[in-house]
Amino acid sequence: MKIFKLDQEFKTLVINRCYFDAEHGWLSLSLDRLKYLHGVFPNDPQVYYAEALITKDFLGQGIKGV
C-alpha cells in the first residue's frame, strides 16, 4: 500500500485549483477545498491568504475577506 503524504507542493496545487474554481464561478467548491486545506495545514498563512483573496475578489465582501 502506498501512503499519500500531503506536502507543500500539494498545498500549492490545491490553492491554484481554488483560484481556478473561483474564476469560473464555482465559489462553494473553492471554499470547500480551502476548508479542507485548513484541516490538513492548520494555521498556515498561505491558506488564510488564499481564502481572504477569494472572499474579497469573488464574493465582494471587501474588508471582511482581509
> pLDDT, tens digit, for every residue of 13-49?
999 999 999 999 999 999 999 999 999 999 999 999 9
Look at residue 13 and tell me if it is in a domain. no
Classify 4 in phi/psi space as left (phi over 0), alpha (psi -120 to 50) or beta: beta
Is 3 contained in some domain? Answer: no
Higher model confidence: residue 64 or residue 50?
50
Q: Domain total for the chain?
A: 1
Tell whether 37 is covered by a domain: yes
The pLDDT-based confidence of 61 (bands split at 50, 70, 90) is: confident
Cα-Cα-Cα-Cα torsion 18, 22, 24, 27, nearest 10 degrees, comes to 110
> Which whole number is the average pLDDT over 54-63?
82
In a domain, 66, yes or no: yes
Query: Does residue 47 form part of some domain?
Result: yes
pLDDT at res. 6 = 77
Domain that holds residue 53: 24-66
Average pLDDT over residues 41-65: 86
Structural domain contains residue 11: no
Under DSSP, the state recorded for 65 is T
